[in-house]
Amino acid sequence: MSSGELFGWTQNAGMGWEPARLLGKQFLVLSTQGGIRAPDGAPIALGYHTGHWEVGLLMEEAARTFTASGAIPFAGYVSDPCDGRTNGTVGMLDSLAYRNDAAIVFRRLIRSLPTRRGVLGVATCDKGLPAMMMALAGSLDLPTVLVPGGVTLLAEEAEDTAKVQTLAARFARGEVTLDHAAEMGCRACGSPGGGCQFMGTAATSQVVAEALGLALPHGALSPSGAEIWRDLARRSAHALMALERRGVTTRDLLTDDSLHNAMVLHAAVGGSTNLVLHVPAIAHAAGLRRPTVDDWARINALVPRLVDVLPNGPRHYATVQVFLAGGVPEVMLHLRELGLLRLGARTVSGRTVGENLEWWERNERRRRLRDKLQQLDRIDPDDVILSAGRARERGLTSTVTFLRGNLAPEGALVKSTAIAPQAVGPDGVYLHEGPARVFGSEHAAIEAIKTGAVQPGDVMVLIGIGPGIGMPETYQITSALKHVKDGHRIALVTDGRFSGVSTGACIGHVSPEAWAGGPIGRVRDGDRVRLRIDTRRLEGTVDVVGVDAGGLAARSPNPALRPDARVSADTRLWAALQDASGGSWGGCVYDAERIIGLLGRALAAERGSFGA
């Protein structure tokens, strides 16, 4: 017995654990819990967001389940930021970089408890949940189970948590009163816990976790605080212990087939474009081949969107209503009919995807929850999760279109399913040509929207906010364009990224980015920019008209492209490391072997020059 293991017993007893029960199997519960919450739910210290406010209750349910089974639960925490809270602020420069840091710390916490027999991860929101999946994926020799932290309820007589983020822009333009803004801001959250009510990055990540086989069937999108949500934690603890008894590890679950299923579900639910960053990162952590732009384009061309949910529409149901309609397994039933799933992929339930679906078809839970949706909300569940034929009749289009052109020679993307229907022609093609309005900062761009300096027909070109400065998301701009008058007639092109709830003709991930010398950094005010997006064939272009690639390359960078002094050394280091590892299309990961190799060659060259 190591001295550390023996001292661990001493520490366990010191914390009050019954010494006679020290021989139980040890399981680690990790979460993104934030804030300090009194037993009655009152805030002692606020968390950063509702998504991690209640997940401690899930940890408690799981821990009590382990204890009742004779096991010993341990708990650790790595809280996460709120992208909604940091939008438009300097805090957003740390958002994406946080994901890698958190995944590293989670993995270090796992390794720092060498006696653990398995890991249960509890997480909810935009960066904490992808970080948790990366950490579990990197623990291939352990059994792991993920517990999605659920969603907040849809508030009554209120704007949803996406629309309220545009109150400032609408108020500045005189489109809402101060009283309306105050009322809506206070009403938006229908419950104190859970991720947002729309299929943004948080909700999409929950769907992807279940599709990967890391979470139990019908685990994604459960209503935070409800008994069915607590029950998920208890069942997940039992599932983890069962995996450990059978010797099943994460290596057995995360495969190319499970990755395929995750990408298929992403397309079917109309998921956030941010998963184009997170899914490759999870694959990299698991030692799998990272999906490329071509893989995403191929999947999106094959898979119809089957879910009507905020922000995509057309009827804009909430995420908890998707859960009641049957959630991920209900969507999978339709995808199975289309032959789009790898049914042999194994999952944490101990069954394959195909076996899970056979269970779901005849399960009383399915009937009971679908009936509840009709009784409570007067909504037909088949209007929320649709068959392929019904989705086609309702005009649901596929999720993401990948673009090329002289502004994006290495690629760009747009959430084409969320372009305003009135802006798309009867042939499914969105066409827009207008003068460029170039901005070198998000602050300058949102100021132009608030003051009306950007006019319908313009193309906003936002440069210098790609991975080089942390790739902050630009939701305050995209949301403003959705909700201000005539905003749907203004397009946006940027080397940055968007919130998962963003909508409209907003083209992001333009590559190469401006800081890498990309042509987007050489656009000038008044250049004619032409966008063509075929929402059916999922192809399109983004070009400066009248200037070829050579002409753009010959220009000097736009004077608006200036370094941002607020970018921290931490984020600059993240930017350099992810750039050496494949950049944003590679998932913004750290490829340790490549980085070590590059550093080794650079150091050898430096030492050689000193010797000379």
Q: Catalytic amino acids?
A: 499
User: CA-CA distances (angstroms) from residue 529 to 132, 157, 244, 460?
Assistant: 40, 40, 57, 10
For residues 63 and 109, is the Cβ–Cβ distance under 8 A?
no
Parallel, antiparallel, or unpaired: how do β-strands 528-534 and 539-544 relate?
A: antiparallel
Q: Report whether pLDDT(166) > 90.
A: no
CA–CA dist 48, 50 (Å, integer): 7
Based on DSSP, count helices (H) and strands (E) in the chain, helices before strands.
24, 14
What are the tens digits of pLDDT across the range 91-127?
A: 999 999 999 999 999 999 999 999 999 999 999 999 9
For residues 48 and 81, is the Cβ–Cβ distance under 8 A?
yes
Q: Report whether pLDDT(500) > 60.
A: no
Q: Report whether pLDDT(611) > 70.
A: no
Parallel, antiparallel, or unpaired: how do β-strands 411-414 and 506-511 relate?
A: antiparallel
What is the 8-class DSSP label of residue 194?
S
Average pLDDT over residues 287-301: 94
User: CA-CA distances (angstroms) from residue 543 to 128, 299, 376, 481, 551?
Assistant: 36, 25, 49, 21, 12
CA–CA dist 379, 370 (Å, integer): 9
Report CA dihedral (178, 180, 182, 185) to the nearest 10 degrees.
Answer: -130
493: nearest Cα among 380, 399, 406: 406
- 439 pairs with which residues across the strands? 462
Average pLDDT over residues 484-491: 84
Query: How large is the angle between the packed helices 201-211 and 256-269, nearest 10 degrees?
Result: 140
Report the pLDDT value the prediction gives residue 29, as an integer from 0 to 100.
Answer: 98
Domain spans in the chain, listed from the N-terminal domain onward: 3-154+190-389, 155-189, 400-554
Q: Report whether pLDDT(610) > 70.
A: no
Report the pLDDT value the prediction gives residue 612, as an integer from 0 to 100.
Answer: 56
Report the pLDDT value the prediction gives residue 419, as an integer from 0 to 100.
Answer: 84
**173 — pLDDT class (breaks 50, 70, 90):** confident
Q: Report whether pLDDT(15) > 60.
A: yes
Average pLDDT over residues 286-309: 95
Fold of the domain spanning 400-554: Glucose Oxidase; domain 1 (3.50.30)
Q: Report whether pLDDT(338) > 70.
A: yes
Report the pLDDT value the prediction gives residue 169, as an integer from 0 to 100.
Answer: 84
Report the pLDDT value the prediction gives residue 165, as an integer from 0 to 100.
Answer: 85
Q: Among 50-54, 163-167, 193-197, 324-328, where is mean pLDDT lowest?
A: 163-167
Report the pLDDT value the prediction gives residue 39, as an integer from 0 to 100.
Answer: 92
Report the pLDDT value the prediction gives residue 592, as an integer from 0 to 100.
Answer: 97
Q: Among 49-58, 137-146, 166-175, where is mean pLDDT lowest?
A: 166-175
Quick one: tokens of 291? 């999906």
Average pLDDT over residues 262-286: 97
SS3 per residue for 397-450: CCCCEEEECCCCCCEEEECHHHCCHHHCCCCCEEEEEEEEEEECCHHHHHHHHH
Q: Among 70-79, 284-293, 542-551, 568-577, where is mean pLDDT lowest?
A: 542-551
- What percentage of the chain has pLDDT greater than the value 70? 99
Neighbours of 535 (CB within 10 A): 23
For residues 324 and 366, is the Cβ–Cβ distance under 8 A?
no
Quick one: tokens of 602? 């650079």
CA–CA dist 472, 90 (Å, integer): 9
CA–CA dist 239, 472 (Å, integer): 37
- 403 pairs with which residues across the strands? 412, 540
Mean pLDDT of the chain: 94
What are the tens digits of pLDDT across the range 212-245?
A: 999 999 999 999 999 999 999 999 999 999 999 9
SS3 per residue for 199-268: CCHHHHHHHHHHHCCCCCCCCCCCECCCHHHHHHHHHHHHHHHHHHHHCCCHHHHCCHHHHHHHHHHHHH
Report the pLDDT value the prediction gives residue 504, as an integer from 0 to 100.
Answer: 72
Neighbours of 356 (CB within 10 A): 24
542: nearest Cα among 518, 560, 516, 515: 518
For residues 70 and 144, is the Cβ–Cβ distance under 8 A?
no
- What percentage of the chain has pLDDT greater than the value 90? 83
Report the pLDDT value the prediction gives residue 395, as an integer from 0 to 100.
Answer: 87
3-class state of residue 85 by DSSP: helix
What is the 8-class DSSP label of residue 526?
T
Question: What is the amino acid identity at position 611?
Answer: G
Phi–psi pair at 194, nearest 5 degrees: 100, 160
CA–CA dist 208, 199 (Å, integer): 12
- 437 pairs with which residues across the strands? 460
What is the DSSP code string of 462-510? E-S-SGGGT--B-HHHHHHHHHSTTGGG-EEEESSB--TT--SSEEEEE
Question: What is the amino acid identity at position 479?
Answer: S
- Indicate the helix (H) or strand (E) that contains 551: helix 549-554
Q: Report whether pLDDT(269) > 60.
A: yes
What are the tens digits of pLDDT across the range 400-440?
A: 999 999 999 999 999 888 788 888 999 999 999 999 999 99
Average pLDDT over residues 580-599: 96
Report CA dihedral (26, 279, 392, 352) to the nearest 10 degrees.
Answer: -40
Q: Report whether pLDDT(483) > 80.
A: no
